[in-house]
Structure 1
Amino acid sequence: MTLPQHVVPSLAGVTRGVIVTVEGDEAHHAVVVRRLRVGEQVTLADGIGVIVTGVVSATSKRSFEVRVTAVDEVSEPAPSVTVVQALPKGDRGELAVEVLTEIGAARIVPWAATRSVAVWKGERAAKSHAKWQSTAREAAKQARRAWHPVVPPLATTADVLDMIRGAELAVVLHEDASEPLGAIALPDAGEILVVVGPEGGLTDEEVAGFVAEGAVAVRLGPEVLRTSTAGVAAVAALLSRTGRWG
């Protein structure tokens, strides 16, 4: 069984024998809820490539200390995968974020597509964005990831066009596309961008705009997947053809 992971703001300069203190909600949940005890082994991650293993040397209700026994610096996975996820209705957004995190997405970008049923505005936007970020953080810990995904604020279609221009490869999932996802040549490095539309589908204008900027419209297969699962299926299909899953 792998060791539980806890997130800390920074592990810069940490070496064997150093004591690292974990504080706040992260520590409270570990000590009070999970009943972490002195002598247990844990891993700590900063979310940007450093994971340390250590032994718990002290605990309190809002903190615990870990004496580091090993330090592992992990290179960022390549190619990286960014998923532009149109806002689903209900809690399906968190479901998509959770599983995309578990399989290795580097960025999960919420997008206000034309036909998105859900709307993020004002206070709701802030709360929904925070929930996506929290979901990604917890899923990254569960998956024992060294690099945790970034969840930027809500993107507009103009923002998505900018992302397509900067990606090494951009694909748009579209049920009427003639090109199968499995036929697309993949880069060895850089960013792969996957655009996932809403429940109501992408508009013709959205697809045309994305393709005009260099994206490739692709289909996954004969089935029509829900927006919360289409991105997961696409990323899994892509990663299975890269060295990351080799």
Structure 2
Amino acid sequence: MHRFYVTPEQAAGDRIMLCPREAHHALHVLRVRTGERVQLLDGRGQVMQAEVVRAGRREVELHVGGRRHFPPPERRLALVVGLTKGAAFEEILQRATELGVTALQPVWTRRVVVRLEAEAIASKLEKWRWIAVDALKQCGGAWLPEVGGPEPLESWLERSRGWDWQVYGTLDGTRGTLRQRLLAYRSAHGGRLPHAVAAYVGPEGDFTAEERAALDRAGVEGVSLGPRILRSVTAALYMAVVFQYEGLGDDMGT
């Protein structure tokens, strides 16, 4: 069944018009027709069963026949990623959405080569939002991840609060692997998993020594991702997959 995104404001009524982007996709890519049944999601846990009541040249109108609300994820996993160039960050966002990551925060670090002018950030955020929307529609989830605007690593660390556990990937093998440190966390906390985790991934070229020291001072624990040097995309997805495998992601999305 085809799935389409509507904003939470749109989702309030029983008659819904798809936005121009979704209407174009419905009409000219998927070729929906009047009478066809589809799903609508608002990215905030609400999934609706709907019927196409009008399919015009540029507009699609639907009637909502049923609603189901999925509670927000019990546990939170945020990926804090050094902003990568090209399509790498977009790939991280897409795959992280599919894996149920609840937040993605791009940060500027010393070795980040991408620099965005203030006026470009708004258009980037809009593009990133739709990448997450398309990934959510594809994977069957119900909750969109929060995607923050880029900011310096230092300012993020200053205001980052409320995490049970924070970790960053490092090539220092003496720190212990991510899984080993997660098992140690559970052992120290009566066997329970952390409810809110922030996992940091450096840019291509990794965090500098000064940035690693700042992460350590902020209480972010360094963990090894293995003996190989991973690209940022691989490292980010490695963290997301390990946390999901260990049980942190069981209730993410739906």
Question: TM-score, normalised to structure 1's length?
Answer: 0.89
Which AA in structure 1 matches 2:246?
R
2:22 matches 1:26: yes
Moved more, 18-27 or 199-208: 18-27
CA contact 1:84–1:160 (8 Å) conserved in 2: no
- In structure 2, the residue matched to 1:97 is 93
Runs of 5+ in structure 2 lacking a partner? Answer: 187-191
Post-superposition Cα deviations, 1:146-204, rounded to whole Å, max 9, x if no partner, equal 10112111121123213543312111111115221002236646421111101111111
Q: Where do residues 65-84 of structure 1 align in structure 2 (5 Å cutoff)?
A: 65-84=61-80
Post-superposition Cα deviations, 1:112-169, rounded to whole Å, max 9, x if no partner, equal 1111122223444444333322222221222222101121111211232135433121
- In structure 1, the residue matched to 2:168 is 172
- In structure 2, the residue matched to 1:133 is 129
Selected match of 1:199 from 201, 204, 212: 204
2:103 matches 1:107: yes
Selected match of 2:242 from 225, 237, 244: 237
- When residues 44 and 162 of structure 1 are mapped into structure 2, their CA distance, relative to the original with a 3 A threshold, is farther
Equivalences, count: 241
Corresponding residue SS for 2:17: strand
Which AA in structure 1 matches 2:4?
H
Which AA in structure 2 matches 1:210?
L
Which AA in structure 2 matches 1:138?
D
Runs of 5+ in structure 1 lacking a partner? Answer: none
Corresponding residue SS for 1:99: helix
CA contact 2:83–2:150 (8 Å) conserved in 1: no
Moved more, 25-34 or 162-171: 162-171
| Pairwise CA RMSD | 2.1
- When residues 164 and 170 of structure 1 are mapped into structure 2, their CA distance, relative to the original with a 3 A threshold, is farther
Which AA in structure 2 matches 1:212?
R
Moved more, 183-192 or 84-93: 183-192
Selected match of 2:217 from 208, 212, 218: 212
Which AA in structure 1 matches 2:29?
V
Cα distance in structure 1, aligned partners of 2:165 and 2:102: 15
Identity score, percent: 29
2:220 matches 1:224: no
- CA shift for structure 1 position 30: 0.8
Cα distance in structure 1, aligned partners of 2:249 and 2:118: 39
CA contact 2:243–2:249 (8 Å) conserved in 1: no
- When residues 160 and 243 of structure 1 are mapped into structure 2, their CA distance, relative to the original with a 3 A threshold, is closer
Cα distance in structure 1, aligned partners of 2:194 and 2:31: 42
Moved more, 69-78 or 114-123: 114-123
Corresponding residue SS for 1:43: strand
- In structure 1, the residue matched to 2:50 is 54
Bigger relative CO (Cα 8 Å, ≥ 6 apart): 2
Corresponding residue SS for 1:245: coil
Moved more, 55-64 or 202-211: 55-64
